[in-house]
Chains A and B, each alone.
Chain A
Amino acid sequence: MDLSRLQRLNQWCWTLPLAEGERRGEVRIYGSRELLEAMDNKVMEQITNVARLPGLVGPAMAMPDAHWGYGFPIGGVAAFDPEKGGIISAGGVGFDISCGIRCLRTNLDLTDVVGKLPSLARGLSENIPAGVGEEGELKLNVSELDEVLIGGAQWAVQCGYGTEADLKFIEENGRMTNPVPENVSMLAKKRQRGEMGTLGSGNHYLEVQVVDRIHDRPAAEAYGLHEGQIVVSIHCGSRGLGHQIGTDYLVSLAKAASRLGISLPDRELACAPINSPEGQQYIGAMNAAMNCALANRQILTHLTRETFRHEVADAVLDTLFDVSHNTCKPEYHSVNGGKRLLYVHRKGATRAFGPGNPSLPERYRAIGQPVVIGGSMGTGSYILAGTAESERLAFSSASHGAGRAMSRHQALKQWRGRQLVDELAREGILIRTRSMRGVAEEAPGAYKDVNLVAEATEQAGLARRVAFLRPKVCVKG
């Protein structure tokens, strides 16, 4: 990114000053100079376009892991006031609605399972449907699927996929309110018929990880983490249903924006006012897709537990937290000394509520919300805790991953999947996949340094580091 146009507000926060006569909201990009220099100029272009949308409250923001997306950049955060003509944008949520990470802590240490990792890897790759064209064992008809869209993870637990205890540690207690399954097309529902309990492909994964380093001991204790402990992270979303809703509404909102006289700086920012029939229709469908994603991760949690218990009879896998990073949610935030209801788009960004937030489970309330920054399969991931100042800085938002540093096409030219799998095996990381092309595209070198992203996230005040997790087994789609 060309930094010459930016003004540095502090070491970890940058803004783009208004040009003469320019009318738009504030733009803020979080990150170190090194991270910003590596970002594509398109990130600045896209977040600046977001700042031109109606009803924006506060700045349009890019997190430290931001990269070029469609509509909003990945790592984009923007809040809109429904009473001020604020909009909802399908391109501000993403196609994989409510994609996120379920993190499970186990009662096992690496020393308990080190000899069992190969069979654990085999079991997980056999039991977790992953990759293009793969379906799950659960087949749902349309009316059963409507129950999923209404009930979310609560539906899954009622069906025997997990326990009530899981629900306390999922955002919205496992069920997004106000879903409208009638707003979801029949094709979207049919597309999901065989996809409940599937991982997907691309950057989705299931990882068995070891807690390598503790950064914040009181927070780690509250989260039930210690060095040497095995944890599991499941990264996936709303599968075909969410993808179809995204594609259906991207086109219909583009047409609505034109009809409603919303001047879009770019067609890809297709949107409608929150308080319009078109906006409300998308919100109902999006909420339904969020429930689909929550149910999907709940089923995958169940399959993971079954696999672990096959290898270690007394294995316990408790939900540490489940957090989505492709959402738009109504939330109350402090604006000019008062509380206002805002619709906060987080596209490739994680909600990061600070200590004391009433929506957090009691166990974490004094510490702050767990935030997961998922890294590449060869490096590692971070668990962080939301901070009080993140509310002021970014409507309580933080980074969601390492963020790509290189296109998939470039990665394919640079790496071979088989070679990467062998190299990582020599480093003690077992990769199980049916797609060597997918592995090459997801090469660790194609991502930013997750350590730099986590450091910038902490230094900017968005969330503070709690623990670093190193991968041991990675199931890729």
Chain B
Amino acid sequence: MNSAPMTDAYFEHGADVGIVGRGATIEQAFEDAARATFAIMTDLDAVHPIETVNLELEEADNELALVRWLNLLLGLARERGLALGQFHLERDGMRWRGTASGEPWRAALERGVEVKGATLTMLEVKKTASGWEARCIVDV
């Protein structure tokens, strides 16, 4: 993989990468942010949804919820040796329940750059004219 991923999913940062997720709902914006994050590591279209991980977190602060959602996904993916490509999130008040699907890393999957974690830098979750936007810097 040597092409710049979807340009509107990223913004400039000196050393790391700024990711942006957009959607009609906050949940969809978070799902989109997860896609932007995991697309730094591999070509999501090539990832087969063979295994699913479930996750749950409680967080009243929307911005911290974004960081925790991304970091939990990154942690679970690494714990299980998975490349994740599909994401789904539901919210009930301050309770967030999500699933992500992917497959164990295999030789044919293209290798991008490992994302260490999502940071609080340039962290923003906001309502826009067309829905929601969620952004932060991820450390690579």
Chain A positions near chain B (C-beta within 8 angstroms) = 40, 42, 67-71, 74, 91, 94-96, 131-135, 187-188, 190-191, 193-195, 200-202, 240, 243-244, 246-248, 250-251, 254-255, 267-268, 270, 404, 407-410, 412-413, 416-418, 434-438, 440-441, 477
Contacts and interface: CB of A to CB of B under 8 A. Distances in A.
A254 B120 CA distance: 9
B112 interface: yes
A418 B2 contact: yes
Interface of B: 1-4, 10, 12-17, 41-42, 64, 67-68, 71-72, 74-76, 78-79, 81, 83, 105, 109-114, 116-121, 123, 137, 139-140
B1 A410 contact: no
Nearest to B17: A408
A435 B13 contact: no
Contacts of A247: 67, 71, 74-75, 116-118
A437 B114 contact: no
A250 B113 CA distance: 22
Nearest to B72: A187
Contacts, number: 153
B114 A410 contact: no
A437 B79 contact: no
Contacts of B111: 131-133, 201, 434-435, 437-438
Contacts of B78: 191, 195, 240, 243
A393 to B, nearest CB: 25
Nearest to A66: B14
Given A201-B114, A243-B116, A74 B67 contact: no
A347 to B, nearest CB: 11
A135 B79 CA distance: 11
25 contacts: A40-B14, A68-B13, A69-B15, A70-B139, A74-B15, A91-B119, A94-B139, A131-B111, A133-B105, A188-B75, A201-B111, A202-B113, A246-B139, A251-B64, A251-B120, A267-B123, A270-B120, A408-B16, A408-B140, A409-B4, A418-B2, A435-B111, A435-B113, A437-B111, A437-B113
A107 to B, nearest CB: 34
A275 B28 CA distance: 41
Contacts of B41: 132-133
Contacts of B123: 267-268
A202 to B, nearest CB: 5
